Chain A
Amino acid sequence: MDVVLRAEGLRKRYRGVLAVDGIDLEVQAGARVALLGPNGAGKTTTLMMLLGVITPDEGWVEILGHRLPRGRTAALAEVGFAAGYLPLAERMRVREFLRMYGQLYGIAEPGPLIDSALERFGIGRLATAMGTELSSGQRTLVGIVKATLHRPRLLVLDEPTASLDPDVAQRVRVGLRALCDEDNISLLVTSHNMLEVERLCERVVFMSAGCIVADGTPDAVAARFGRDDLEAVFLHLADEGRTAAGAQETDRA
C-alpha cells in the first residue's frame, strides 16, 4: 500500500522542555488514523511539524515523497488541514473564503466544487453568510469544507468536532467517511472524543509525554492497556502523566 505520510525521529524541544521525543509515524493511503493523548502530550506540535509549520530539531517528514521543508509547496498541495479552534478570515463571505482557498490550492474556478462541498456537509445555505455571522460549529464545518475542496490525498484535522453538537458531529463523521472512501483520502485526526475516534478511525496512535506509547486498532490498544475502551486508556495515560509530572516536581524540590 502507498505511504502518504512518513516521519522519522521527530524531536522538538521548547526552552529546555522536550515536547516531542523521537516520533516515527507512517500513514498509508486511505487509512484513517487518530493521534490521541492528554493535553501536553505533544499532539499539536507533532501535527505542526508534519505540516511544516514548525521545524523539528531532529528528524524528517515526507509527504507523498516530498521531503519538507524543500518540497513544502508540492507536499501541501496534496494536504488539507482544518482545526476546530481556527476562525474564518474576517470580512469575507463563506463563498469568498472558500474561493480564495480553492485558488490557493490551484483550482482556477472553484465555484461548482464549493457548492457540492457545502451541500455534502449540509451547509449550502451558508454560502453568502459573513464569516463573523457563523456559530462555532458552522465555522468548523466551513473549515472542513475548505480543507477538502481540492480533494487532498491527506486530510489533517485538529479537534474537528470539538465545538459541534452530537447531531452535527455525526454529519461530519459521515461526510468525512464518505469523502475518504470515495477518493481514497488518508485521514489524520486528533480528538478528545474517544467515542468519535472509535467510530471514525481504524487505527489509533496514543501519545504521552512526547512519545508514542501505543499504535494499533482501537480494540488492540485498549486490550494492551487492559482497559475496556479508548476512553479508559486515555484516562489511564492522563493519570500516569500527572503522576510523572508530580514526581518531577518532587525531585526538583
Chain B
Amino acid sequence: MSRHTVNLPWLRIRAVARRHAYVLQRSPHRLFDVTIWPLVDVLLFGSIGVFVSHQTTGGKVAAGYLLTGILLWHVVYQSQISLSTGFLEETWSRNLLNLMVTPLREVEYVAGVALFGLIKLAMGVGVVALTAFGFYAFNITDLGWSLIPIASILLIVGWVIALFVMGLVLRFGSGAEALAWGILFVVMPLSGVFYPVRSLPWLLRPVAQALPTTHAFSAGRAVIDGRTLPWSELGIAAGTTVVAAVIGLAFVTRMLATFRTRGYITRYS
C-alpha cells in the first residue's frame, strides 16, 4: 500500500457514483431518461387507459393495469439504462483506460454506477408516480407493500440486462451500444407488462414464461385485482432472476477476459 493511502472499497464505490452524479448534473439531455420519458409514458398509457375505460365495462381495470405496468416497467428501464449508459459514458469519454489502471475492482465499478443508478431510478419512478396521481388520480401507494418485493426483483433484472449490454459493448465495441436502449424493446412485449402472456402468440409464450419479468408483472396484476400477493409466481420470478444473474455475471466476466486478451482497449485510447 502506498504512503497516504488506505484500502477502502467503499471509498472507490462512492468516487464512481459521484463521477456519474457530475455527468447527470452537467448533461441536461441525460435528464430526459428520468423526467421526459417517464412523463411521456404515463401520458401515453394513462390516456389509452382512460379511453378504454370509457369504451368497455372492464376498462377501469385495464387503466390500472396500464399505469401499474408502466410504473413497474420504469423500475426495469431505469436500473438497466443507468448502468448501461454509465458504462457507455466511460467509452464515450475514453475514460476506460484511466479506470483500468487504478486499483478499482470491476465489482466496485459496477456497484458505484448502480448506486447512483438508484437515485436516477427514484427520480424516474417518482415522476411516473406523481404524473399518474396528478393526471389520472392513480395512487400507487394503494397497491401497498406488495410492490416492494416485485419492484426489487425488477430492479435486479434491470441490472442483469445491463450486464449483458456491458459484455456486448466490451466484445463488439461501440457498434453494440444501441442495445442499451434496444434490448428493452425486445424484453417489454415478451414480459406481459400490460397483459397476461396468454395474449401473446402461442409460439412466444414459452419464451415469455422463461423471463423473470413475466412472473413479476403477473404478480403485479394479481395485486391490482385485489388478490393476495402470489408468492409462487414471485418465487419463480426470483428463481429465474438468480439464474439470469449467474448467466449475466459469467457472460460479462468472459467478455472482459476476451477484451483483455484481444487488446480491445485500443478502441478507447
Residues in A lying within 8 Å of B, measured CB to CB: 12, 14, 44-45, 48, 51-55, 69, 72-74, 76-79, 81, 83, 85-87, 89-92, 96, 99-101, 103-108, 113, 146, 150-153, 156, 183
Contacts of B27 in A (CB 8 A): 91
CB-CB nearest in chain A for B104: A104
Cβ 8 A contact of A107, one of B4, B257, B260: B4
Q: Mark B111-150, 1 if CB is under 8 A from A, else 0.
A: 0000000000000000000000000000000000000000
Q: Mark B79-95, 1 if CB is under 8 A from A, else 0.
A: 00000000001101111
Say whether, besides A12-B263, A55-B257, A73-B105, A91 and B22 are in contact (CB < 8 Å).
Answer: yes
A52 to chain B, nearest CB (A): 8
Q: Are A151 and B3 in contact (CB-based, < 8 A)?
A: yes
Q: Are A104 and B262 in contact (CB-based, < 8 A)?
A: no
In the docked arrangement, what's the CA distance between A108 and B12, Å?
9
A14 to chain B, nearest CB (A): 6
In the docked arrangement, what's the CA distance between A151 and B12, Å?
18
Cβ 8 A contact of A92, one of B7, B22, B101, B104: B22
- Flag whether B100 is at the interface (Cβ < 8 A): yes
Q: Are B101 and A105 in contact (CB-based, < 8 A)?
A: no
- Flag whether B178 is at the interface (Cβ < 8 A): no
Residue in B93, B97, B103, B257 whose Cβ sees the most chain A Cβ within 10 Å: B103
Cβ 8 A contact of B260, one of A54, A89, A151, A152: A54
Say whether, besides A92-B19, A108-B6, A14 and B12 are in contact (CB < 8 Å).
Answer: no
Cβ 8 A contact of A76, one of B15, B23, B92, B103: B103
- Flag whether B265 is at the interface (Cβ < 8 A): yes
Say whether, besides A87-B93, A96-B22, A106 and B8 are in contact (CB < 8 Å).
Answer: yes
- Nearest first, the 6 closest Cβ-Cβ pairs linking A and B are A103-B15, A106-B5, A90-B93, A81-B101, A91-B26, A77-B103
